[in-house]
Structures are given as structure tokens and as C-alpha cells.
Homo-oligomer: A and B are copies of this chain.
Amino acid sequence: MSGFVRKKFQGFTGYVPGFQPPDLGWIKLNTNENPFPPSPKIRKFLSSVDFSLLRKYPSPMGEPLRGTLSGKYSISQEKILVTNGSDEALALLFLALFEETDTVICPSLTYSLYPVLSGIYGGKIREISVDADFQFRLEDLESADGKAIIFANPNAPTGTYFSPEEIFSMAEKSSKLWIIDEAYADFADREKSSMLDYPERLNSAKNIVVIRTFSKSYSLAGARIGYLVSPDEEIMNALYALKDSYNEDYLSLMMGELALEDFVYYENNIRIIKEQRIFMKSEMEKMGFFVFPSQANFLLIRPHSLNAGAIMERLKDKKILVRHFNTQRLANYLRISIGSPEENRGLLDALEFIINGNK
């Protein structure tokens, strides 16, 4: 023991991300990546970018992406913070907002990074139990004692979803801070699926923070682009003061902007993913899996006979990756990202083989 590390972090266990194989040739359905490439505008940009600009520091204010987001969503720039993936936005929030003794309310099933961040930065997590169908009610979050509420919407790893109107209606009469992590919002079956689609309501409700990412719907997980929106001036001032000066790199700021400009390309991909979500649910149900309804780009399934962990291992032998969480609650479940039609076909064939081989 050298003893240089703070007591609370000696032997500390962080968030464990899904396996990222270094080689190609996998059907990778374990981290909810988008099966389609980013916009062709990004290929064009990379092949013609003036690479000498990399010698200079990027914009500390996240430009030009921040300005483009501001225009797209009619939200003024100082209410937007561009971050190095949405994980950085979440980490900065926990750092800026929560004393050790502050209570942060979340459903008992949600993105498992939140309790890790409370262990690092502050806040005591208070979990509101989800029901047998892994559902929860906004009323139950609101009626618990605490400073803030956080959950993913659509939720992970379940895919349940509340409309922005439902959340606004509850948050507007609340004295708590509502932090809505919209990583998967573009996959919900609604024309206006995000809180950002309601700028007037968002601007007048000061107790809301919305977090978005380019990792899922924009096929840019590798570029680490996220952002946070809040009309609360104090929160935004604190986040800007706490973040690293140059937290987002130049190429990502440019690629994020280009992605926003090509939403037509992405809308088509999202449509295919949603169609595949319906198809996969139906096919896996035919095989005897219980499949939760999902508004995200993944499905949570429960095998009917075989052990979930064993299925995960047997799929891995076939170079197919799905996610199995090492928690008691989720021991019997698998979370499977919606891949391309070809990848999904490959998964179904492998599952068929595994199930029939065991009958």
C-alpha cells in the first residue's frame, strides 16, 4: 500500500462498459451502437479537412456545434454545454450539484452509471422500485424525499418511455431538479420525442436538465459527442467553470455539426431500426423469449428455459456479443441492441441453433 489514493477510492470499482473487441468480424449487439455508418457528409469532411487546424486548441465553448444546436432547437447558446460524450455531462452534473448528503432519486432499474457517479462525486442514490414489468411512475419519483430526480428516457436497460408532456407536467409543479437522460430519445415512436422539441416549455421550467448524445442515433459513439441543456443560469455557469477548458476536440465539434445538418439521412436509419425492433421482438417471442416492449434501439429479453448467462457465452463463441448484466435483478435477462437486418438475421439463426440444440 503506497497510500497516495483518497480513502474513498481505495479499491473503488468504476462503471464496467460492454466488451469492445479489438478485432473486426463480430456481430456486436452489446453496447447499443448504431449499425449504420455516420452521414456521408462526415466522410467527405474527413477527406478534405484542413488538418493543419489540429495544431490549434478547439473552441472552449463547443463551437461550431453549440451554435448549430442552438438554431436547431431554438434554445439560446448559454443554455447548452457540449461535452465529451454524455458521460462527461453526467459526471459534471454530479460534481456540480450534489453534496455528500443530497438525495438523488432514480428508478431501481436505470443506467447503472448514476450510482457510480454518486459514489465518485456526491449524492446519495435513493431507488424507487420498479414493478414486475420494470415500469415506474413519475408520481413515485416526485413523492420521494430528495433534491433531484434522474433517469434515462427511454429508460435503459428496459426501453420504457414517458412522453415529454408527461415529464413536463410533473416537473413543472415540482421543486426538485429533473435530470432527463435522453440518449435514446430519437428511437421513441413519437414525432416530438425529446424535451428539446418543446423549447417554450423547457425555457420556462427552470428545474429541468436534458442530456443528449450523438453516440446512438447519429452513429458517432467513436467521436464522443454529447451535450446538456438547462435553462438554469446558475447550473450552466457552474458547469462551464468546472469543465476542462477544451473538453471537446476540433474534429468532433465539426462532425457533430455536420451530423445535425444531415438529419434526413439519419431519419431513414432510425426508421429501419424501429422496423427491425418490431421484427426482432416478434421473432424472439416466437422462439419463446419474453421480450419487453422497447422505445429504444435495444430489447431486453428473458429466456424461457435456458440460462441467460449461458446464452450470452454461447453467442460469444459464435462471435456475437450481447449484454448480460452481473446483477441479481438482471441475471435472467439479456439486453440486445438492434443491429442491421443482416446482423439481426445472424443473431436469430444463432439463437435458433442454441435453443434447438438444447431441446
Contacts and interface: CB of A to CB of B under 8 A. Distances in A.
B98 A6 contact: yes
Interface string A28-41: 10010111111000
Contacts of A52: 37-38
A149 to B, nearest CB: 12
Interface in A48-67: 48-49, 51-60, 63
B51 A38 contact: yes
A257 interface: no
A33 B56 contact: yes
B9 A91 contact: no
A219 B54 contact: yes
B14 A242 contact: yes
Q: How large is the interface on A (under 10, 10 to 19, 20 to 34, 35 or more residues)?
A: 35 or more
Contacts of A262: none
A241 B37 contact: no
A87 interface: yes
A101 B220 CA distance: 41
Best-buried of A2, A14, A47, A249 by chain B (most CB within 10 Å): A249
A55 B221 contact: yes
A187 interface: no
A249 B246 contact: no
Contacts of A43: 51
A219 B84 CA distance: 21
Interface stretch (A232-240, A307-315, A348-356): A232-240
B244 A88 contact: yes
A5 B235 CA distance: 6
A6 B85 contact: no
Contacts of A220: 54-55
Contacts of A99: 6-7
7 contacts: A20-B60, A33-B55, A33-B56, A38-B55, A54-B222, A84-B244, A249-B249
Interface of A: 1-7, 9-15, 17, 20, 22, 28, 31, 33-38, 42-43, 46-49, 51-60, 63, 84-85, 87-88, 91, 95-99, 120, 122, 147-148, 177, 206-207, 215, 219-224, 232-235, 237-238, 240-252, 255
